[in-house]
A and B are shown apart, each in its own frame.
Chain A
Amino acid sequence: GQNIDQPTEMTATEGAIVQINCTYQTSGFNGLFWYQQHAGEAPTFLSYNVLDGLEEKGRFSSFLSRSKGYSYLLLKELQMKDSASYLCAVERTARQLTFGSGTQLTVLP
Chain B
Amino acid sequence: DAGITQSPRHKVTETGTPVTLRCHQTENHRYMYWYRQDPGHGLRLIHYSYGVKDTDKGEVSDGYSVSRSKTEDFLLTLESATSSQTSVYFCAIRTGGGSSYEQYFGPGTRLTVT
Contacts and interface: CB of A to CB of B under 8 A. Distances in A.
Given A45-B102, A50-B99, A51-B99, A96 B48 contact: yes
A55 B66 CA distance: 36
Contacts of B42: 87, 99-102
B58 A43 contact: no
A48 interface: yes
Interface residue range, chain A: 20 to 34
A45 B106 CA distance: 12
Given A43-B105, A48-B101, A95 B94 contact: yes
Interface string B94-105: 100001111111
B50 A45 contact: no
30 contacts: A31-B99, A41-B107, A41-B108, A42-B90, A42-B106, A42-B107, A43-B105, A45-B103, A45-B104, A48-B100, A48-B102, A50-B99, A87-B42, A87-B43, A89-B43, A95-B31, A95-B48, A95-B50, A95-B94, A96-B45, A96-B48, A96-B59, A97-B33, A97-B43, A97-B45, A98-B59, A99-B42, A101-B40, A101-B41, A102-B42
B66 to A, nearest CB: 14
Interface string B59-103: 100000000000000000000000000000010001000011111
> Among B43, B90, B94, B106, which residue has the most Cβ atoms of chain A within 10 A?
B43
A14 B104 CA distance: 28
A50 B104 CA distance: 17
B44 A99 contact: yes
